[in-house]
Amino acid sequence: MSEFGLLIEYHYCTGCLACEVACQQEHNHPASRTGIKVTEYVMETPTGLSIDYVPFPTALCDLCAARTQRGEQPSCVKHCQANCMRYGRVDELAKEMEKKPRMVLFKPR
Amino acid sequence: MKAEDNITEFKTTAWSAGPGCHGGCGQKLYVQDGKLIRVEGDESNPWSQGRSCPRVLALTQYMYHHDRITTPLKRSGARGEGKFTPISWDEAFEICEKKLKEIREAHGAESVIFCQGTGRDVGGPISFLAYSYGSPNWCQLGLSGHSCYTPRLAAMKATLGDFCVMDASQFLEQRYDSPEYTVPKVIMVWAQNPPPTCPDGFFGHWVVDCMKRGSEIISVEPRHTWMSTRAKHHLQIRPGTDAALALGMLHVIINENLYDQEFVRKWTFGFDDLTERVQQYSPSTVAEITWAPKDTIIEAARYFARAKPAAIHWGVPVDMTPNSPTVAQAIAQLWSITGNIDVPGGNVIARPSHGVTTYPYTTEELVELYGQELIAKLNAKRIGADKYPMVKGFRGWAQPDMAIDQISSGKPYPIKAVWIQTANILGGQAARMKLHYEALRKLDFVAVVDLFHNPTTMALADVVLPAATFAEKDSFRSWWAPLAVIQKAVQVGECKSDWEINFEMAKRLNSGVGKKFSSVRDLINQRLKVANVTFQEMINRGSWAMPPDGPSKPYRRHERGLLRADGKPGFNTSTGKVELWSKTYEAWGLDPLPYYTEPVQGPVSTPELYRKYPLIMIAGTRSSLFFHSEHRMIPWLRDKLRHPFVEVHPDTAKELGIYDGEWVYIENDHGKVKRKAKLSLTVHPKMINTMHGWWMPEQVGSEPNLFGVWQYQINQLIPGPQDSVSGFGGGQYKTTLVKLTKIEQGESEYV
């Protein structure tokens, strides 16, 4: 089991989908498959409308094993235009998560 | 260039074909056996800092797509029949040379219009070709009122003497960490949701970078967007009423003494006149016009004026308001009278880095490149220059609405041919699209330079010349900083760059060209001379260079005497000041002060039409997946957004009996266009929101279908001409009235 995960500060995810295509290019996935998938949430709240995007690592996510072995960031993290994704050890990421709201930590493997 | 394991890395700059955009991102291209295998963001490039958009990450699918045009083509059937025969470059150049020379001989060079699309790398080579040929008619044909940045640029040049852009530290090598930089306390994002767009000379996510560093947002936006939902104040205005809002905010800031008194006293002209003018625009009047609540207008104005520094970032809808140059003038006054001009974290003066010109932005740059005599001579025949002093006095565009009318009527002189370069006029920018189709089909000769067949190549082209992506060409860029170069990493088929194509054509059409430049590389080096650097040196240093101290580097250049030719402190205007009362506008026969006019159609100006068509359509909303009419054939991109949709408020949909996901027509007197209804709370109940640029590459390309363009091209519904007395601005892309109707079963083959 991996000790590594993805911390996503979804407050800043703009839904640009760079992560999805970065993943598809990296793994040469066909258009119908991707290791990360962004979902949009639009909702009325007492303080107004909220619009949020959250990237979700699918069953195809291998945390870019080949890249991270070379010391590089996973392709989605590297290319994220909002710089709102981090790759690291889950214990360290969990500590990071204590500092701010509107984050999610995934441990795909 | 770095080689390892048979894989070579090229560090370059993305601009134009490929991602398609206004560009500037640093990318690393990995090449194996002459083929691009992967794209990766370049961390060492200060523009994008390692980031990439979905379109550039899909570059391999774009470049090696089976539909890519890779040889020159000659039409072998009737226009629109879709029959083309591959020919050699020599034959293609010869056909074009012969035709263009014949037309010039018989009718004069002005009877050929040289057309481009959006502001990309092509701007340099196409103006070069037009002027080498001798035609004054360089144009974004179809784009009503040139309503894309030109109106804002003209307004800034006239009233401030220079262009300004929100300071996201983009002129500084260390970016946000530069000691002289301060992040804006407040950013007023006017008419844009920056992340999915590609603003002019600006990376949309820089606004997000600033938000993370503490910037608060004021969002001026008819829709709810990612940005507006994160804003301190959201001014949800009626489309096209931006001038009223800007004037109302000026009213608050001036009357409550929230402006920068020292700056106004020292550096502005006409403040008293402006004070008098804004009295007509009280917050309650403005609230009534714009539909934004009075209190929000007042609070947002105070919040903006009290923040130091504050900046405004604006979008293309400003250019699509009635009389846009006056709207841009008013918005620029907001950052000016609050003392936010050319200060860290404000709106900084933007000049091409190192003084290099790639894509001429001002009349001065055109004169510098081509000489006073030629520019004056061309102005005498340029379409629209005699009617609109602003069109004559700023830059070198032919007026597009008049151009298409002239193509139809042949008056005052006939147009015989068009050269269209990487612009899908019919599937993209053309308002009154059917008129463009009918008029352009009758021309004697149409050459189209592009990468894929599309409705424009299919309906019009006699010759198609295959263009290169940024990965396949040498070029350069100075918009605004850094100075950057684009280097060729691979060759695809027989494709050539816009510079290669236009340099070869220009040599054939003008004997002086070959004497002045020995090659494209030589031309680039000559243009780079002012920066004291060569193309190869730029490659060697990683493809970019930030501006040195001097006129193209912030800050406070008006205090340091860096803006004016005479070297004196001040702004580059006749008074040396920011002209709130514009002497240039007066000379151009325009109101020297800003004012509000209602959109030509809408609930106020055309109540009867509004009863018939009760929805205001915002056309041209952006997605990060597609750039204008491009990328619909790229699997990684198209699969994420298969169908063109229209956002409809659930209450409006309920009234009309429309379900989520149902196909509907958007309709007005100009026609009807298909969309899939997306019920969404993000849109105002009296408005609908939809993307432009839709055609279906997977459908039959030949006539009459033309890739389904008649069913999906939304700009068929946009009327013309432009809603602007200056000739610039006022394309009605955001203010057109429509209705929605359900599509009955069996009504359409392609639903």
Percent of chain B scoring above 90 in pLDDT: 97
* Residue B450: both structure tokens together: 């592009």
**Positive or negative torsion for Cα B369, B371, B376, B382:** negative
User: Cα(A77)–Cα(A86) distance, rounded to whole angstroms?
Assistant: 6
Q: Of B193, B208, B296, which to mutate for an interface test with A (greatest number of A Cβ within 10 Å)?
A: B208
Main-chain phi, psi angles of A30, to 5 degrees: -70, 170
Which residues of chain A have a CB within 8 Å of the CB of B209?
83
| Angstroms from A107 CA to nearest CA on chain B | 23
B637 CB neighbours in chain A (<8 A) are 21
From B678's Cα to the closest Cα of chain A, the distance in A is 12
Q: E-strand spans in B487-573?
A: 544-545
Expressed in angstroms, the distance from the first to the final Cα of chain A is 6
User: Is-contact B528 B355, C-beta < 8 A?
Assistant: no
DSSP SS3 for A107: coil
Distance of CA B396 to the CA centre of its chain: 16
CB-CB: which of B39, B53, B212 is closest to A81? B53
**Interchain CB distance below 8 Å, A51 and B225:** yes
Model confidence band, residue B465 (pLDDT cutoffs 50, 70, 90): very high
Spatial distance between the Cα atoms of B522 and B294, rounded to a whole number of angstroms:
59
Judge: A79–B639 Cβ closer than 8 Å, yes or no.
Answer: no
Architecture of domain B73-139+359-477+493-531: 3-Layer(aba) Sandwich (3.40)
* pLDDT given at position B119: 86
pLDDT at B749 over 50: no
User: Would you call A16 and B640 a contact, using CB atoms and an 8 Å cutoff?
Assistant: no
User: Which neighbouring-strand residues pair with B218?
Assistant: B188, B233
Angstrom distances, CA of residue B107 to CA of B138, B345, B417, B443, B509: 17, 53, 11, 13, 15
How is chain A split into domains, by residue range? 4-103
**Angstroms from A86 CA to nearest CA on chain B:** 14
pLDDT of residue B23: 86
Locate the chain A residue with the closest alpha carbon to B195: A14
- Predicted confidence at residue B5, as pLDDT, reads 80
Q: Give first-to-last CA distance, chain B, whole Å.
A: 49
Q: Classify domain B607-742 at the CATH topology level.
A: Barwin-like endoglucanases (2.40.40)
Residues in B touching A99 (Cβ below 8 Å): none
Question: How close is the nearest chain A Cα to the Cα of B389, in Å?
Answer: 41
> Rounded CA gap, B370 and B384, in Å?
20
CB contact under 8 A, B636 and A14: no
Predicted local distance difference test score (pLDDT) of residue B4: 73
Tell the residue number behind the tokens 């359409």, with chain if given: B748
Cβ pair B57:A32 closer than 8 A? no
Beta carbons of B681 and A82 less than 8 Å apart: no
Report the half-sphere exposure of B326 (CA within 13 A, side-chain side). 29
Task: Round to whole Å and give the CA distance between B388 and B585.
Answer: 12
- With a cut of 60, say whether residue A62 has pLDDT above it: yes
Interchain contact, A21 vs B635, CB within 8 Å: no
B38: which residues sit within 8 A by CB, 6+ positions away?
A25, B29, B30, B60
Q: Which residues of A touch B196 (CB under 8 A)?
A: 14-16
pLDDT in tens, B31-47: 999 999 999 999 999 99
Contacts made by residues A28-36, CB under 8 angstroms, sequence distance 24+: A29/A60, A30/B635, A31/B635, A31/B636, A31/B638, A31/B639, A32/B639, A33/A60, A34/A58, A34/A60, A35/A60, A35/A61, A35/A62, A35/A76, A36/A61, A36/A76
Q: Let me know: does B476 contact B528? Beta carbons within 8 Å.
A: yes
pLDDT at position B746 over 70:
no
| Of the partner residues A30, A78, A82, the one whose CB lies closest to the CB of residue B41 | A78
Please answer yes or no on whether B226 and A44 come within 8 Å at the CB atom: no
pLDDT band at B751 (very low <50, low <70, confident <90, very high): very low
Q: What is the pLDDT of residue A49?
A: 97
Contacts of B225 in chain A (CB under 8 A): 51
Name the amino acid, one letter, at A6.
Answer: L
Q: CATH 2.40.40.20 residue ranges in chain B?
A: 607-742
pLDDT of residue B55: 98
Fold of A4-103: Alpha-Beta Plaits (3.30.70)
Query: Which residues in chain B touch residue A53, judged by CB atoms under 8 angstroms apart?
Result: 226
Check residue B199 and give its pLDDT. Answer: 82
Q: Which of A34, A79, A85, A87 to mutate to test the interface with B (most CBs of B within 10 A)?
A: A79
| Cα(B140)–Cα(B620) distance, integer angstroms | 16
Predicted structure pTM score:
0.97
Q: Considering only alpha carbons, which residue of chain A is nearest residue B208?
A: A82
Q: A74: nearest CA in chain B? A: B40
ipTM of the complex: 0.98
Per-residue pLDDT tens digits for B237-270: 999 999 999 999 999 999 999 999 999 999 999 9
- For residues B741 and B751, what is the distance between their CA atoms, to the nearest angstrom? 14
pLDDT in tens, B55-106: 999 999 999 999 999 999 999 999 999 999 999 999 999 999 999 999 999 9
* In contact, B578 and B269? CB cutoff 8 Å: yes
Interface of A with B (CB under 8 A): 11-12, 14-18, 20-22, 24-25, 30-32, 42-44, 48-51, 53, 78-83
| CATH 3.40.228.10 residue window(s) in chain B | 150-352+564-587
pLDDT digits (tens, 9 = 90+) for B526-538: 999 999 999 999 9
Within 8 A of B639 by CB-CB distance, chain A residues are 31-32
For residue B480, give Cα distances in angstroms to B200, B204, B365. Answer: 10, 15, 14
Q: What is the least distance, in Å, from the CA of B50 to any CA of chain A? A: 6
A60-78: buried (b, 16+ CB within 10 Å) or exposed (e) per residue?
Answer: ebbbbeebbeeeebbbbbb
Within 10 angstroms of residue B67's Cβ, the number of other Cβ atoms is 12
Secondary structure class of B568 (helix, strand, coil): coil
Q: Which of A40, A45, A51 is most worth mutating to test chain B (most B CB atoms within 10 A of its CB)?
A: A51
Other CB atoms within a 10 A radius of the CB of residue B154 amount to: 31
Q: Is residue B684 within 8 Å of residue B223, measured between CB atoms?
A: yes
- Of B52, B226, B230, nearest to A79 by CB-CB distance is B52
Residue A37 scores a pLDDT above 50: yes
Share of chain A above pLDDT 70, in %: 100
Inter-chain CB pairs, A–B, below 8 Å: 96
Q: How far is the alpha carbon of A36 from chain B, nearest alpha carbon, in Å?
A: 13
3-state secondary structure of B52: coil
Whole-number pLDDT of residue B524:
98
Looking at every residue in chain B, the average pLDDT score rounds to 97
Chain B hits for A83, Cβ within 8 Å: 51, 205, 208-209, 212
| Percent of residues, chain B, with pLDDT higher than 70 | 99
Pairing verdict, β B417-421 and A48-57: unpaired
What 8-state DSSP symbol labels residue B35? E
Please give the residue of chain B at the shortest CA–CA distance from A9.
B212
pLDDT over 80 at B414, yes or no: yes
Mean pLDDT to the nearest integer, B569-577: 98
For the stretch B262-300, pLDDT in tens is 999 999 999 999 999 999 999 999 999 999 999 999 999
Biggest CA pair distance of chain A: 47
Mean pLDDT along residues A27-49: 97
Residue among B278, B269, B322 nearest B301 (CA):
B278
Q: Which chain A residues contact residue B63 at CB under 8 A?
A: none
pLDDT score, position B200: 86
Question: How many whole angstroms separate alpha carbon B697 and alpha carbon B626?
Answer: 13
Mean pLDDT value of segment B359-385? 93
- pLDDT band at residue B198, thresholds of 50, 70 and 90? confident
Strands B663-668 and B463-466: unpaired
> If you average pLDDT over residues B218-241, what whole number do you get?
98
Residue B681 has its nearest CB partner, among A31, A44, A80, at: A44
Amino acid at B31: V
Quick: pLDDT tens for B322-345: 999 999 999 999 999 999 999 999
Interhelix angle for B271-278 vs B242-255, to 10°? 110
Q: Residue B721, preceding bond cis, omega within 30 degrees?
A: yes
Q: Is B462 helix (H, G, I), strand (E, B) or coil?
A: coil
Q: CA–CA separation, B714 vs B629, rounded Å?
A: 11
Residues in chain B within 8 Å Cβ distance of A82: 195, 205, 208
Residue B19 has pLDDT above 90, yes or no: yes
In chain B, ranges of CATH 3.40.50.740 domains: 73-139+359-477+493-531
Packed helices B150-160 and B324-337: angle between N→C axes, nearest 10 degrees: 50
- Closest residue to B640, CB basis, from A20, A43, A53: A20
Q: Is B747's pLDDT higher than 70? A: no
| Omega prior to B704 cis, within 30 of 0 | yes
Say yes or no to pLDDT of B511 above 90.
yes
Is residue B28 pLDDT above 80, yes or no? yes
Identify the CATH number of the domain defined by range B150-352+564-587: 3.40.228.10
Assigned CATH class of B2-63: mainly beta
Nearest-by-Cβ selection for B636 from A24, A78, A83:
A24
Query: Per CB distance under 8 Å, which residues of B are interface residues toward A?
Result: 38-41, 50-54, 57-58, 60, 195-196, 204-205, 208-209, 211-212, 224-226, 229-230, 234, 624-625, 635-640, 680-682
